A and B are shown apart, each in its own frame.
Chain A
């Protein structure tokens, strides 16, 4: 049984942790999505993306409040959340690095570039740096194979990466974020 959104708010600890409630802004956007969909489940993916946009990732608490709000069971919503590459069910760092691990990039030295990223940040694919700045999640072919090897970070495509320029690029990304 799904609990109602109001019921859930009472159960969840309201210790100032903003993840246990939907913000007015989120509610407004969710209502807009729900109004345009033929049935609530249809908004699942968009709703998850919306939550993630605000919070960086989708925690268990987020999943349950969202489930209650859009009336889709937690199991169904989680089955959708865990299916897609761009919905994160674990906390990620401020900047998510998506170096391409597609074949055209690897033919042009992508393996070495990814190794250089790991070496610089001391993290393996799927991991986050201890200071929570970077998460490394390689993605398949980013559709820029003529500029291989490439990486997406902060919605930008970075082309023609080399073992030499990648370290500097990461420094710049960190600077911009500060």
Chain B
């Protein structure tokens, strides 16, 4: 097999059964596992470190480094757990569903390689409760593996250094709550508790599920492992166009001609993703701004289109690459209303532990509702800014609240005029035609359309 340019999605074909074992094997599936079984645990960890793979769940933490904190060797606890975070619930993120439904075996292979690297024998897949098709296929894929000695006792019957390699995978389907995706909340959920995050330290790599060393990584992160082992870390690094290694599943949703998902080199420009792959804006709509990596990232503008989708590049612009799924704000949708939708979601999904989150987010919601209703006052904007400050990183036990205020704080910066128009005219200019006209002439922009129903091909 020659080194592919789209390692993660080359298994996804037109065939209806492309997710099954036979198809996966015919495209070189489980080659990574075979190779991994010929390597020592140290060599495996080294390869993962060398590859510069960064976590694809949002934070971009280096995977090799994270794994190196897990106690290994003879004195280490015998029980360790590997968990695939498949709880995808970030607004605007839909990439993991694609991988889960179309390439369940790739995830299993990633887990097996994780088992070999860390000396773990138990893997869990923590799946979002309403991903029914994914659940069905993962379950079937696990069964297929058991039948073909790819899971269970003495995998492939070949052993490593004279010892059988045993590995089991358990599928846990969640009962739905965004906070379950936070890795320590996820561990609590798996223990059958309310999914409240845990105070850190201790970190789960040392004290995790049932108090044992535990690794939680995103679906896409695990999917990369077989290919790093199979084709080497140099190949993986060379895949990226910029600083970051590998490919990334990028997505676009909102008023573009072809919303969807694509596996592209890390460091592909935002412009290429939106204009080329997503086909550009729908006719009659203009780009007003976008969230580069899901609902908990800061807005960027048209002037940032030439930036590269690379963790550090996007950070430099004051936002985050997050999950790599871009959400488009068009010129006919009210930015206040968009932010309200997002903050309302985060307020609802707060676990209630920290004050800036439990009390601050609902307060922000009520202020945004007031502005959107046409009852806003100038001081509301200042108050919203204060609430953003309260929820800054370091003030809360997890990243939900800091993430929640990212779209809000950047909207206050970039779309301040929209907030002010709402307050000045005591109504939403995107809903009220009279004010829309006035505001439009004032801003010398095209007329605002108040009818926002229907897709672009209507």
Identity of the chain A residue whose Cβ is nearest the Cβ of B342 in the assembled complex? A103
Identity of the chain B residue whose Cβ is nearest the Cβ of A116 in the assembled complex? B453
Q: Is B259 an interface residue (CB 8 A)?
A: yes
CB contacts (< 8 Å) of A141 on chain B: these are 89-94, 295, 345
Pairwise interchain contact A143-B97, C-beta atoms closer than 8 A:
yes
Pairwise interchain contact A85-B253, C-beta atoms closer than 8 A:
no
Residue of A84, A106, A140 with most partner-chain B CB within 10 A: A140
Pairwise interchain contact A143-B175, C-beta atoms closer than 8 A:
no
Residue of A37, A106, A146, A152 with most partner-chain B CB within 10 A: A146
Q: Per a CB cutoff under 8 Å, which of A79, A148, A160 touches B194?
A: A79
Q: With A104-B92, A104-B254 known to touch, is A140 a contact of B345 (CB < 8 Å)?
A: yes
Question: Complex: how many Å from CA A83 to CA B330?
Answer: 35
Q: With A42-B191, A45-B189 known to touch, is A103 a contact of B295 (CB < 8 Å)?
A: yes
Pairwise interchain contact A102-B91, C-beta atoms closer than 8 A:
yes
Question: Complex: how many Å from CA A45 to CA B253?
Answer: 33
Q: Is B176 an interface residue (CB 8 A)?
A: yes
Pairwise interchain contact B330-A43, C-beta atoms closer than 8 A:
no
Q: With A140-B91, A141-B91 known to touch, is A43 a contact of B455 (CB < 8 Å)?
A: no
CB contacts (< 8 Å) of B172 on chain A: these are 46
Question: Complex: how many Å from CA A144 to CA B261?
Answer: 10
CB contacts (< 8 Å) of B338 on chain A: these are 103, 106-107
Identity of the chain B residue whose Cβ is nearest the Cβ of A37 in the assembled complex? B192
Pairwise interchain contact B254-A139, C-beta atoms closer than 8 A:
no
Pairwise interchain contact B176-A108, C-beta atoms closer than 8 A:
no
B282 to chain A, nearest CB (A): 10
Pairwise interchain contact B91-A83, C-beta atoms closer than 8 A:
no
CB contacts (< 8 Å) of A145 on chain B: these are 92-94, 251, 253, 259, 325, 327
Question: Complex: how many Å from CA A45 to CA B93?
Answer: 25
Q: Is B132 an interface residue (CB 8 A)?
A: yes
Q: With A85-B176, A104-B253 known to touch, is A146 a contact of B452 (CB < 8 Å)?
A: no
Pairwise interchain contact B132-A155, C-beta atoms closer than 8 A:
yes
B124 to chain A, nearest CB (A): 12
Pairwise interchain contact B176-A106, C-beta atoms closer than 8 A:
no
Pairwise interchain contact B329-A107, C-beta atoms closer than 8 A:
yes
Pairwise interchain contact B341-A103, C-beta atoms closer than 8 A:
yes
Pairwise interchain contact A108-B194, C-beta atoms closer than 8 A:
no
Pairwise interchain contact B341-A106, C-beta atoms closer than 8 A:
yes
CB contacts (< 8 Å) of A98 on chain B: these are 130
Question: Which positions 235-265 of chain B face chain A at CB distance < 8 Å?
Answer: 251-255, 259-261
Pairwise interchain contact B454-A143, C-beta atoms closer than 8 A:
no
Q: Is A61 an interface residue (CB 8 A)?
A: no
Q: Is B333 an interface residue (CB 8 A)?
A: yes
Pairwise interchain contact A85-B259, C-beta atoms closer than 8 A:
no
Question: Complex: how many Å from CA A86 to CA B330?
Answer: 32
Q: Per a CB cutoff under 8 Å, which of B193, B341, B453 touches A80?
A: B193
Question: Complex: how many Å from CA A55 to CA B379?
Answer: 50
CB contacts (< 8 Å) of A155 on chain B: these are 132
Number of A residues contacting the other chain (C-beta, 8 Å)?
Answer: 43
Binary per-residue interface labels of chain A (83-114) against chain B in the complex, 1 for a CB within 8 Å, 0 otherwise:
11111000000000010011110111100100
Question: Complex: how many Å from CA A162 to CA B455?
Answer: 8
Q: Is B363 an interface residue (CB 8 A)?
A: no
B455 to chain A, nearest CB (A): 7
Question: Complex: how many Å from CA A46 to CA B192?
Answer: 8
Q: Is B328 an interface residue (CB 8 A)?
A: yes
Question: Complex: how many Å from CA A84 to CA B131?
Answer: 15
Q: Is A142 an interface residue (CB 8 A)?
A: yes
CB contacts (< 8 Å) of A146 on chain B: these are 94, 251-253, 259-261
Pairwise interchain contact B92-A103, C-beta atoms closer than 8 A:
yes
Q: Per a CB cutoff under 8 Å, which of B130, B192, B295 touches A86?
A: B130
CB contacts (< 8 Å) of B177 on chain A: these are 83-85
Binary per-residue interface labels of chain B (197-212) against chain A in the complex, 1 for a CB within 8 Å, 0 otherwise:
0000000000000100
Question: Complex: how many Å from CA A155 to CA B177?
Answer: 18
Q: With A84-B176, A143-B131 known to touch, is A109 a contact of B454 (CB < 8 Å)?
A: yes
B369 to chain A, nearest CB (A): 14
Identity of the chain A residue whose Cβ is nearest the Cβ of B278 in the assembled complex? A146
Question: Complex: how many Å from CA A101 to CA B333?
Answer: 15
Q: Is B128 an interface residue (CB 8 A)?
A: yes
Q: Is B349 an interface residue (CB 8 A)?
A: yes
Q: Is A48 an interface residue (CB 8 A)?
A: yes
Q: With A104-B254, A107-B328 known to touch, is A38 a contact of B193 (CB < 8 Å)?
A: no
Q: Is A71 an interface residue (CB 8 A)?
A: no
Pairwise interchain contact B176-A104, C-beta atoms closer than 8 A:
no
Identity of the chain A residue whose Cβ is nearest the Cβ of B134 in the assembled complex? A143
Question: Complex: how many Å from CA A41 to CA B325?
Answer: 37
Question: Which positions 45-90 of chain B face chain A at CB distance < 8 Å?
Answer: 88-90
Pairwise interchain contact A112-B129, C-beta atoms closer than 8 A:
no
Question: Complex: how many Å from CA A47 to CA B172?
Answer: 12
Identity of the chain B residue whose Cβ is nearest the Cβ of A162 in the assembled complex? B454
Q: Is A67 an interface residue (CB 8 A)?
A: no
Question: Which positions 438-458 of chain B face chain A at CB distance < 8 Å?
Answer: 452-455, 458
The chain B residues found within 8 Å of chain A, CB to CB, are: 88-94, 96-97, 128-133, 172-178, 189-195, 210, 251-255, 259-261, 295, 325, 327-330, 333, 337-338, 341-342, 345, 348-349, 452-455, 458
State the 8 A-B residue pairs at the shortest beta-carbon distance, nearest first: A84-B175, A145-B253, A85-B176, A44-B192, A146-B259, A104-B253, A86-B176, A42-B192
| Given A45-B192, A103-B92; 7 other pairs, CB 8 A cutoff | A48-B175, A104-B327, A106-B338, A109-B452, A140-B89, A142-B130, A148-B253
List 11 A-B residue pairs with CB atoms under 8 Å apart, sorted by A's residue number.
A41-B192, A42-B192, A49-B129, A83-B194, A103-B341, A104-B92, A107-B254, A109-B452, A109-B453, A141-B295, A146-B260
